[in-house]
Amino acid sequence: MGQCYVCLPAPEVQSPWLLDHYCKQLGGYQSWLKIIDESIPPTDVIDIIKASGLRGRGGAGFPSGLKLSFMPRDAHGQKYIVCNSDESEPGTFKDRDILTLNPHQLIEGMAIASYATGSTVAYNYIRGEYYQPWVRFENALKEAYEAGYLGQDIRGTGVSFDLYSQRGAGAYICGEETGLLESLEGKKGMPRFKPPFPAQVGAFGKPTTVNNTETLASLPPIIRKGPDWFNNLGQESSGGSKIFSVSGHVQRPGNYEITLGTPFSELLNLAGGLFEERSLKAVIPGGSSMPVMPAEAILSCEMGYDQLQQAGSMIGSGGVIVMDNTTCMVEVLERIALFYFRESCGQCTPCREGTGWLYRLIHRIRTGVGSASDLDKLVNVADKIEGRTICALGDAAAWPVQSFLKHFREEFEAKVSSRVAA
């Protein structure tokens, strides 16, 4: 248990974003060349990924090998792999570091995923605000083409693979995979009804698999070192490592890659712990959309998919937001609610109207003009949004409200009581 380096390069690795350094220090492109030179069957590649226990690192935690297997093998015509680098979840910044520090590993991972699914074209959809990561990725892409790792009939093997990057336009909703595909096609980024799922009808109407940046960057070391190596890093049902973006009231905020199942207390220590003379109050373990956990719950919890779910939250995108005893939970929830209100695409009535009501109710309470009935209204509105929208943004807006009121209702009641007393 503890810190390791799978998707992020170790500190001693020099300039890992350069092709020569990536190859010499990190075993770069060994996995890709082994697959195409030995003509390893695509189904065998998928079986290796399944055996590794890798789960999607973007938030859902779905088994990655199984997701790749959904791509129809007998489908005629073009198929696509799309990387979701539109990292817009508040509190999450891990993909930014992968793109900046280790872009070649992502390129290699996308090549492997494309080969496994019978795709010959891939797109990396990068958050529009990520200028330096985009530049690094573009430079790495150029190096990979010049070295002959990408393109048509690679190394005379008959394998072809082309990769393109696309910058997003700064919309949170484009982090949802079908909203991303709409944006990629040049349309407004609004989620699609499912079914059909992207594996059947995805980018440009063709079968498509969408994966997160960290997920795809995990593939080269899995192929190179073997599925057992990766699986044994973590624990049962949670194989490998995970990057957690730690922010908030810690002394060393940043990205920390740890084996899954590592106690939260160890992660907190890696981030330097809390500021002096302060105590832990609450943590959001997976980005702002995940349910908040009080200190006593998170301190006894391990950072794994099943453990966090059993404790009442989720691993999500891995954005760990730490709050100490100086935090006003009403103010935090107001900021979260405002974000989801502004980022709703407006397609679904429960989300379009509900997120606005959530923010306005919380704002009333925070500014001292709310009433006791507003607390029940908040819960009622959140319950009416959850599970009733096309995409998960509605859930993302509802879960924080439900969890904040569950664990810290007294702070909201105090705001209301102070008004009554006045």
Q: Structural domain boundaries of the chain?
A: 19-232, 234-324, 329-421
With a CB cutoff of 8 Å and minimum separation 6, the contacts of 117 are 42, 68, 71, 79, 81, 209
Q: Cα Rg for the chain, rounded, in angstroms?
A: 22
C-alpha angle with apex 156: 210 to 17, nearest 5 degrees?
Answer: 50
Mean pLDDT of 56-66: 87
Instruction: Check whether 422 has a pLDDT greater than 60.
Output: no
Tell me how far apart the alpha carbons of residues 291 and 396 are, in angstroms, rounded to a whole number.
9
Instruction: Check whether 146 has a pLDDT greater than 80.
Output: yes
**Residue 105: band (very low, low, confident or very high) from pLDDT cuts 50, 70, 90:** very high
Identify the architecture of domain 19-232 in CATH.
3-Layer(aba) Sandwich (3.40)
- Give this prediction's pTM: 0.94
- Which residue type occupies 241? S
**CATH fold of 234-324, please?**
Ubiquitin-like (UB roll) (3.10.20)
Mean pLDDT of 121-147: 97
Mean pLDDT of 205-218: 96
Predicted confidence at residue 1, as pLDDT, reads 65
Predicted confidence at residue 419, as pLDDT, reads 57
Least Cα distance to 100 among 243, 219, 239, 234 occurs for 243
With contact defined as beta carbons under 8 Å apart, do 266 and 2 qualify? yes
Least Cα distance to 389 among 353, 339, 337, 342 occurs for 353
Instruction: Check whether 238 has a pLDDT greater than 80.
Output: no
Q: Which of 60-74, 308-322, 356-370 has the lowest mean pLDDT?
A: 60-74
Instruction: Check whether 420 has a pLDDT greater than 90.
Output: no
> Which tokens go with 2?
């503890």
Identify the architecture of domain 329-421 in CATH.
Up-down Bundle (1.20)
For residue 178, the Cα-to-chain-centroid distance in whole angstroms is 15
Summary mean pLDDT of the chain = 94
3-state helix, strand, coil in the chain (%, to 5): 50, 15, 35
**Residue 60: band (very low, low, confident or very high) from pLDDT cuts 50, 70, 90:** confident
**Domain 19-232 and domain 329-421 have a common topology:** no
